[in-house]
Structures are given as C-alpha cells and as structure tokens.
Amino acid sequence: MKYLILFVLLFIVWAYLKKSLKDGTMKDKKLVSCSQCGTYLPQEDAKKEINWGKTNYFCSDECEKKYVESGEQ
Ligand SMILES: [Zn+2]
C-alpha cells in the first residue's frame, strides 16, 4: 500500500513535469512577421536578414527579393 501511494505521487509529478515541459517548448516557438507581406510564421521557419543592425524576417525568397527591391528605390 505504501508503494502504491508513492507510485501515484511519482506519476502526478511526472505528468506535471511533462505538461510544464510541453508548455515551455510552446513558448519557444516565437512568431515573427514577414517584413514584406506581414504574414506571421515561426521564427525557425523564417528567412532572417540583418541589415544595418535591424533584423528582418521573410516568409519566402520572393518576399525577401521584393523587400530588397523596394528598399533600393
Ligand atoms: Zn512574406
């Protein structure tokens, strides 16, 4: 009986840790918006470009190209 309580307690702790770990990884998925079209996408999927100390994110090569072209005018 003593061991059963211990087992249940361990299970609760394990379930709690698993949940908090999952929440933590969800928070790490930071969304950024495309500098060209404004589409939100996960930072890890975005194309990153640092220009004059400012970080720009793009959803695609097309948007990056458009942004660079519009910046040249
Ligand atoms: Zn875009």
CA 35 to ligand 1 centroid distance, Å? 7
- Measure the CA angle with vertex 68, ends 65 and 69; round to 5°: 85
Whole-angstrom distance, CA of residue 25 vs CA of residue 65: 32
Q: What is the CATH number of domain 2-72?
A: 2.30.170
The neighbouring-strand residues paired with 54 are 51
The tens digit of pLDDT for each residue in 13-72 reads 999 998 887 776 656 678 999 999 999 999 999 999 988 888 999 999 999 999 989 876
CA 57 to ligand 1 centroid distance, Å? 8
CB under 5 Å of ion ligand 1: residues: 34, 36-37, 39, 59, 63
Cβ atoms 67, 36 nearer than 8 A: yes
Residue ranges per structural domain of the chain? 2-72
pLDDT of res. 27 = 61
Cβ atoms 72, 66 nearer than 8 A: no
Is pLDDT larger for residue 1 or for residue 58?
A: 58
CA 69 to ligand 1 centroid distance, Å? 14
